[in-house]
């Protein structure tokens, strides 16, 4: 049964990987992956990069599972808001208004876990990003934005 499942899962994994965006033009995907891993890497981290004009997704760090999680949207004062959002929701808002966002709050009622959100334009590149980190050691949004700015430069963005 396990072998049969593995044989069925391989083509599915290949299809999902093939649909994954590679990297922005002129940027090596492995270099960008490593820079982001070093800056905010975690199994529950997600980062999306899209072209500012078209909204076309050009890069995703982590899997669809990590990137499709709806988590507290957080408010400017650090409280969990009544709404939830996904990294894609945040990316769409950033594409629309070009504003930088750095938010964080608790993601559980007992405050044992947190979520950090960071989004904004990548200066001079015609790209915008959104990032989410959730867990018991999640960075605040402002720290994520600072670390990502360095990671983008390190990767040639």
> Which run of H or of E encompasses 90?
helix 87-97
**Region of residue 111 (left: phi > 0; alpha: psi -120 to 50; beta: else):** left
Q: Please check whether residue 67 is in contact with residue 46, taking contact to mean a CB–CB distance below 8 angstroms.
A: yes
Furthest C-alpha separation in the chain:
52
Single pTM value for the model: 0.83
SS3 102: strand
Task: Per residue of the chain (157 residues), give pLDDT as tens.
Answer: 444 434 444 443 333 334 567 878 888 999 999 999 999 988 889 999 999 999 999 999 999 899 999 999 998 766 666 699 999 999 999 999 999 999 999 999 999 999 999 999 999 999 999 999 999 999 999 999 999 999 999 999 9
Q: Which two tokens stand for residue 143?
A: 């720290």
Burial degree of 152 (CB within 10 A; 0-12, 13-18, 19+): buried
pLDDT of residue 80: 66
Could you please state the CATH topology (level 3) that the domain comprising 22-154 is classified under. Beta-lactamase (3.40.710)
3-state secondary structure 24-64: CCCCCHHHHHHHHHHHHCCCCCEEEEEECCCCCEEEEECCH
pLDDT of residue 20: 62
Where are the chain's structural domains?
A: 22-154
pLDDT of residue 76: 72
Q: Which two tokens stand for residue 126?
A: 């015609």
Rounded CA-CA distance 155/138 in Å is 22
SS3 120: strand
Cβ density class 32-43: b for 16+ within 10 Å, e for less: bbebbeebbbee
Rounded CA-CA distance 35/113 in Å is 25
């Amino acid at each position: 049964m396990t072998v049969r499942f593995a044989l069925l899962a391989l083509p599915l994994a290949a299809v999902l990987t093939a649909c994954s965006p590679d990297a922005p033009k002129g940027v090596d995907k492995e270099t960008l992956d490593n820079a982001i891993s070093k800056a905010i890497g975690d199994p529950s981290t997600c980062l999306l990069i899209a072209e500012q004009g078209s909204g076309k997704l050009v890069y995703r760090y982590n899997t669809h599972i990590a990137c499709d999680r709806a988590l507290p949207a957080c408010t400017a004062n650090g409280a969990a808001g009544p709404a939830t959002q996904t990294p894609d929701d945040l990316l769409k808002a950033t594409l629309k208004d070009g504003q930088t966002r750095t938010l964080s709050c608790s993601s559980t009622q007992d405050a044992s876990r947190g979520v950090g959100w960071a989004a904004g334009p990548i200066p001079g590149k015609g790209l915008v990003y959104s990032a989410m980190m959730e867990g018991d050691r999640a960075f605040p949004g402002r720290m994520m934005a600072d670390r990502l700015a360095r990671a983008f430069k390190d990767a040639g963005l």
